[in-house]
Amino acid sequence: MDWIYRVNMTEGKVTKEEIPEAYAGLGGRGLTSTIVAAEALPTCHPLDENNKLVIAPGLLTGTAAANSGRLSVGAKSPLTGGIKESNAGGTSAQKLARLGIAAIVVEGKAENGKLFKLKIDTSGAELSPADELKGLGNYDTVAKLTEKYGEKVGYISIGPAGEMKMSAASVAVTDPENRPTRHAGRGGMGAVMGSKGLKAIIVDDSGTSRPVVKDPEAFRAAARTFAQLLREHPVTGEGLPTYGTNVLANVINEAGAYPTRNFSEGQFEGTDKISGETLRDTIIARGGSPKHACHPGCIIQCSGIYHDEDGNYLTKRVEYETVWANGADLGIDDLDAIAQMDRLYDDYGLDTIEMGATIGVAMEAGVKEFGDAAGVIELIHEVGKGSYLGRILGNGAAVTGQAFGVSRVPVVKRQALPAYDPRAVKGIGVTYATSTMGGDHTAGYSVAPNILKVGGDLDPLSPEGQVEISRNLQIATATLDSTGLCLFVAFCVLDRPEAMDAIVNMINAQYGLSLTGDDVTELGKKILRTEREFNRKAGFSAADDRLPDFFKTEKLPPHNVVFDVPDEELDTVFNF
């Protein structure tokens, strides 16, 4: 991948440039964070012209490497106020890689009220007005674009939430069936895209082929080894393909770490009704698909196709975080209602985690009763319409807590926490507190050794050893996010060191390098240092690397525990 496209929204111009030396050898999160740190003003308002939106495939994206189709989207976050990388599956990352594009850098800001689309193909890139797409949801946006450009291209788009510049707005990417079901959800990247005046990107890779491999034989050998290891691992080869990510619902509930009714309890009495097992049975009974690849080349296939009661497509197989955020956290045990919510979030362009947690805070305030599924759907429509209430909710849990005077607001750096209570999984609590990304489980998935006993066996209720495991996982994750590989390959990598060797060997074979495992680890450290320095310049300090006080004072049933990893230890996470 040799090229960067700079899209100047102020001037309406697109320029193509060779990737500069400072960005060479980077991809995915490594590239988005490096460009944002170098070119976006840390103190800027995230929605002004001084922010940069960077979209980048990973180092292995577009190759024959299994599960290598992730797309990174980075900017200064309107939700956290710090640096952000959010990533998604879908087809666009691989298409960008096949076009030789290392990154799209969107800068400046279109004239107020103007909306554009960007078309990229082998002949170059061009901006054109997108007035016909104004106000449309992602499904209708993709349908209109498909009429003009066809089904065999990739679409990246925002819904009404992004146009209204809501901090919970996501960026949608189409899946292999041309549906906008894959989202870079976290941190409000959709709002940044909307602030630029960019509604959609069309990626047409017709006439291209996979990137040239420097050492094809070595690459094939490493890729075969990697794929085989993924198939053999019990999580990536059995659990996720069979039940999807929601296989975790019963597991985390049993562990007493399933946040319920706005993080007031650790177990939900209705978990069995919304579990991965029940979800699979429902999908099969209605003629849906219990396995589905969110991008070509995925061999885990943890996604699926969910049909309504009449056997019609409704949404993708609802993921664990979405089921939790709009299920247990809201006291709801109705899978059909949760699937409807998921469809609405995808269409309006909203992060399912942020919105579920936000509505939990609103329920705490009495806006709706816990368990009121119909009421939740009403609230989602309020966000989509941009009503006064909708605009409060669409800007996330922290804003909603402020608006309604709620003190139990589960956020770090103003980003809502996902589906693991940090009091009962203390390793993930360290990650939530210290991640450069705000409350984010994917930044260092300590649930693996704490609960799943993958990559180690650490007592989730003890503070001992949690800082070290979170540190190591945050470093490893920053590296994986740069490869374009799905984060779920980490389950295999943690248990089988030869899987990490295969990743290094694939990178070396692809680019003609001789990296070692230590070199790859150093890449992760470098990314984290870059992100930390940006956040420091943006005004962050050690005081921001903390969980809300209620996690330290309110005992979580059933274990009746609090988060008790000392602040002094949290401050050592990045001592490397």
Q: Could you write out the three-class secondary structure of 15-84?
A: EEEECCHHHCCCCHHHHHHHHHHHHCCCCCCCCCCCCCEEEEECCCCCCCCCCCCCEEEEEECCCCCCEE
User: 230 and 312 share a domain?
Assistant: no
Of 203, 231, 259, at which residue does a domain stop?
203
User: 110 and 227 share a domain?
Assistant: no
- Residue 288 placed within a domain: yes
For the domain that residue 138 is a member of, what is the CATH number?
Answer: 3.60.9.10
- Residue 208 placed within a domain: no
User: 400 and 348 share a domain?
Assistant: yes
Quickly state the pLDDT bin for 193 (edges 50, 70, 90).
very high
Q: Return the pLDDT at 140.
A: 98
User: 229 and 256 share a domain?
Assistant: no
User: 458 and 366 share a domain?
Assistant: no
User: 498 and 529 share a domain?
Assistant: yes
User: 430 and 560 share a domain?
Assistant: yes
Of 394, 421, 448, at which residue does a domain stop?
421
The owner of tokens 């680890």 is 521
Q: What does the pLDDT look like over 518-533, one tens digit per residue?
A: 999 999 999 999 999 9
Q: What does the pLDDT look like over 240-270, one tens digit per residue?
A: 999 999 999 999 999 999 999 999 999 999 9
Q: What does the pLDDT look like over 416-428, one tens digit per residue?
A: 999 999 999 999 9
Phi, psi of 480 (to 5 degrees): -60, -40
Percent of the chain with pLDDT over 90: 98
For the domain that residue 336 is a member of, what is the CATH number?
Answer: 1.10.569.10
Quickly state the pLDDT bin for 301 (edges 50, 70, 90).
very high
Q: What does the pLDDT look like over 537-564, one tens digit per residue?
A: 999 999 999 999 999 999 999 999 999 9
- Residue 209 placed within a domain: no
Q: What does the pLDDT average to over 14-23?
A: 96
User: 49 and 32 share a domain?
Assistant: yes
Tell me what the pLDDT averaged over the chain comes to: 97
Q: What does the pLDDT average to over 89-105?
A: 97
Q: Return the pLDDT at 445.
A: 97
Quickly state the pLDDT bin for 2 (edges 50, 70, 90).
confident
H/E element, 128: strand 124-129
Q: Which domain holds residue 360?
A: 246-421
Report the number of distinct structural domains present in the chain: 3
Quickly state the pLDDT bin for 366 (edges 50, 70, 90).
very high
User: 12 and 155 share a domain?
Assistant: yes
Of 389, 421, 453, at which residue does a domain stop?
421
User: 462 and 517 share a domain?
Assistant: yes
Q: The pTM is what?
A: 0.97
The owner of tokens 């368990």 is 371
Phi, psi of 139 (to 5 degrees): -65, -45
- Residue 175 placed within a domain: yes
What angle separates helix 352-364 from helix 373-385, to the nearest 10 degrees? 110
User: 286 and 194 share a domain?
Assistant: no
Q: Return the pLDDT at 354.
A: 98
Residue 151 CB neighbours (<10 A): 11
Quickly state the pLDDT bin for 376 (edges 50, 70, 90).
very high
User: 264 and 348 share a domain?
Assistant: yes
- Residue 130 placed within a domain: yes
Q: Are strands 116-121 and 198-203 parallel, antiparallel or unpaired?
A: parallel
Quickly state the pLDDT bin for 123 (edges 50, 70, 90).
very high
**Cα(245)–Cα(473) distance, integer angstroms:** 19
pLDDT at position 109 over 90: yes
Q: What does the pLDDT look like over 465-494, one tens digit per residue?
A: 999 999 999 999 999 999 999 999 999 999
- Residue 329 placed within a domain: yes
> Position 335: which residue type?
L
For the domain that residue 509 is a member of, what is the CATH number?
Answer: 1.10.599.10
Q: What does the pLDDT look like over 138-176, one tens digit per residue?
A: 999 999 999 999 999 999 999 999 999 999 999 999 999
